[in-house]
Amino acid sequence: MQMSVPPSDHERALAFDIQSIDQDFLDDPFPTYKLLREHDPVHLNPDGTYFLTRYEDVVKAFRDPAMSSDKRVDFKPKFGDGPLYLHHTTSLVFNDDPYHARVRKLMSEAFTPRKMDELDPVIEGIVERLLDRLKELKEFDVVHDFGLALPTEIIADMLGVPEQYRSKMHHYSTLILGALDPIVSPEKLKAGHEAVNEFGELLEELIAKRRKTPHGAEMGEVLVSLIFGEADGRKLSPVELVQNCIFLLNAGHETTASLVSNGIGTLLEFPDQLQRLRENPDLIKTAVEEFLRFQSPLQIGNRKATEDVVFGPEDNRKTIPAGSFIHTCVGAANRDPEIFEDSETVNIGRKPNPQIAFGMGRH
């Protein structure tokens, strides 16, 4: 009788394939991240893309000038010339300088600390309203009724979206972002194209109204600054304006919903930390940094190498060739034990905590 020998950890790491991740990985990717970080930190997938899991390598990919975010070539086969292509190739995150720098500058001026301070009472009001509503319910879904509702309301206020359209915003965002998944059905692609068109038309109406009534903006609205703001002597064109407003919804709401929901989930999973926070509410700032580290909302980012670039630990350097697509695994980097002591443990008072959940570098 022949006995099959189970594969070693090293062999399992080498066999990882980003295109065939399963439900176990989606439920808990961290054991796989650990395996890759320890046995194959600059991992080559069967489709020719690379998967980075060490902190130092992910930081390098975000900072190195030889890394591009421009997706005009990569998105063409998937999206054709449709609205999803227009959207994703116009949003600042999937562009390099000079376009990226110009839109980024204009956005930074719309999101000044003073503007953000203006939002404080708006956010407090939204939180109180949501909590009052929850109090009336016998049971509720923390992700849907609080985690998602909170950023959706905030971003709707930032973009001046009237009440009656708000319930559709999460739906638009899911369809537009879902189209970025590695495998997408034709039905989902069609729904994604329609979502860009529908939300785009709504934003065009809101923008036209605000152009006529710039002084009618409510507290915390950034739309007015995005319409009239200038960077390098130029305003955003109508298409740039609409597509980057759609991007603001997508960028801000799913990520923040994950942070809020995972933060609550983490405290429930680690009751000692919940108790610690109750006894020391001042720890909330370091606690949020720890939630961002432990369950990073954006687990996997990406870049493309425009030149050959060397990655990996000193004793195992590998050159990623120019033209390669790279998955930057922020979720794995944020649990790298070379940087974070007891990296698989939650410590809401962790200091220092150089987590990179917001990425770094130019973007």
Binding string, residues 199-238; x marks residues near ligand HEM by CB under 6 A: ----------------------------------------
Kindly list the distances between the CA atom of residue 28 and the CA atoms of 23, 24, 55, 79, 244, in Å, as whole numbers in the listed order: 9, 6, 19, 30, 32
Q: How far apart are CA 123 and CA 121, in angstroms?
A: 5
Position of minimal CB gap to ligand HEM: 252
How far is it, in rounded angstroms, from Cα 293 to Cα 348? Answer: 10
Q: Establish if 359 lies at the interface with ligand HEM (CB under 6 A).
A: yes
Smallest separation, CB 205 to ligand HEM (Å)? 21
Contact 358, 63 (CB under 8 A): no
For ligand HEM, the binding residue among 35, 36, 107, 176 (CB under 6 A) is: 107
148 lies in the site for ligand HEM, by CB under 6 A: no
Distances (CA, A) of 137 to 132, 141, 147, 149, 247: 9, 10, 16, 15, 33
| Of the residues 147, 192, 229, 301, which one makes contact with ligand HEM according to CB under 6 A | 301
252 lies in the binding site for ligand HEM (CB under 6 A): yes
- The residue (of 58 and 207) whose beta carbon lies closer to ligand HEM is 58
Instruction: List CB contacts of 324: < 8 A, sequence separation 6 or more.
Output: 48, 49, 50, 304, 305
Angle CA(270)–CA(153)–CA(110) in degrees, nearest 5? Answer: 105
For the bound state, the minimum distance from the C-beta of residue 26 to ligand HEM, rounded and expressed in Å, comes to 18
Residue 271 beta carbon to ligand HEM: minimum distance, rounded to whole angstroms: 24
- Beta strand residue intervals within the chain, DSSP E: 42-44, 50-52, 67-68, 300-305, 309-311, 318-320, 325-329
Q: 42 vs 110, which CB is nearer to ligand HEM?
A: 110
Identity of residue 267: L
The CB-of-138 to ligand HEM minimum distance in angstroms stands at 30
What residue type is 177 in one-letter code?
L
Q: Alpha-carbon dihedral of residues 283, 123, 87, 96, nearest 10 degrees?
A: -50
Binding mask 44-83 for ligand HEM (x = CB under 6 A): -------------------------x--------------
Q: Does 92 bind ligand HEM (CB under 6 A)?
A: yes
**Which residues contact ligand HEM (rule: CB under 6 A)?**
69, 92-93, 104, 107, 155, 248, 251-252, 255-256, 259, 297-298, 301, 357-359, 363
